[in-house]
Amino acid sequence: MDVRTIGDLAQLMVSRRQNADARADMARLIDEAGTGRKSNLAGSLRGDFTLLAGLEADLKRIDSYDTAVTSLLGKADVMQGALSSGRDLASETASQVITVTPPANQETIRVVAEGARGRFEDFAARLNVSYAGATVFSGTGTDRAALAPASDILSALEAAVAPFTTADEVEVAVRDWFAVGGDFDTLGYTGETDTIAGLSISATRQIAFDVTAADPAIRETFVGLALAALSDRVPLSGNLGEQERLMVSSAEQLLDAQNGLAQLQGRIGAQEQELIRTESRNAAERAALEMSRSELIDVDIFETASRLEAVQSQIELLYTITARSAQFSLVRFLQ
């Protein structure tokens, strides 16, 4: 007959409670070892989540800065590519135009003018480039092309110079067409004059790329390309002397325009460097914030493993003691 004293029952109850506590500790430690996070965060923070909430807010702020930096760097890369292409096109045209030296002939001028028209169209196409679904050279008009079709612009230019018969007159007409307030603003540039607001890249700095296809350096490039492109058109066609003079003006204009585009690229490049520096600073700040957050919510995996091993040993010891004192089987003990 299994007779137990009050002391035996009390010892049994204590053993069961210790066993339950140990198993609860084991379950918690296993969970923490698997997730790397404290299972009782409220208890660990003593119910005060103020510091943790502040860290989380700061990390979200860094996330927004990183998004802005990435977007701006991508946009800058696209813009630099278009402007670099513009410089190349201007250089190629200038080199070809310079080959037109007296005594020139109509065929040579036609070939050079045709090449200039092709590069005019190429440059216009590159300025209509988009990044992340937004046209980059159209100011706030990111939902549309920055420029009208190049063929339309060239047709409008031909109409503008039609009344004139000398190279000087044609050059003046072309410059007037591309000048601020001229036909380029209404017939050529289809973007907006307002530029996109800057994006915050840090707590104290915003950056915006305010270059549009209506920038003076871009207008000057188009002037040089247009002068060459119109050299074989009415009213100068057949007048070799005036055509050659217009070619000379085109070459001079294109050489100056390359400098203007280079300065524009330099301006964007300076902003790119600032973005890269800011990206590094934000990364350092993120690392510090994540370390502080980790101290609040993460467990020391090595300490947790040691504690888990200790709890396992405790459970084994409890079983051994209980089994010896009450002569229980392990199966019965676990029930």
What is the DSSP annotation of 153-176?
HHHHHHHHHTT--SHHHHHHHHHH
For residue 224, the surrounding DSSP H or E stretch is helix 216-229
pLDDT score of 1: 43
pLDDT score of 105: 86
- What would the two tokens of residue 160 be? 């503008």
Q: How far is CA 92 from the centre of its chain?
A: 31
pLDDT score of 306: 60
- Residues paired with 155 in a beta bridge: none
pLDDT score of 275: 97
pLDDT per residue over 190-241, tens digit each? 999 999 999 999 999 999 999 999 999 999 999 999 999 999 998 888 899 9
First to last CA, the chain: 21
pLDDT score of 250: 96
Residue labelled with tokens 């067409």: 177
CB atoms within 10 A of CB 202: 19
Reading phi first (left if > 0) and then psi (alpha if -120 to 50, else beta), residue 47 is in left
pLDDT score of 190: 98
CB atoms within 10 A of CB 111: 14
From the list 257, 224, 259, the residue with the least C-alpha distance to 96 is: 224
pLDDT score of 129: 97
Taking a C-beta distance cutoff of 8 angstroms, is the pair 139, 78 a contact? Answer: no
Taking 70 as the pLDDT cut, the residues of the chain under it are: 1-45, 101, 298-335
C-alpha–C-alpha distance, residues 223 and 175, integer Å: 6
Residue labelled with tokens 């670099």: 84
Taking a C-beta distance cutoff of 8 angstroms, is the pair 189, 128 a contact? Answer: no
pLDDT score of 18: 59
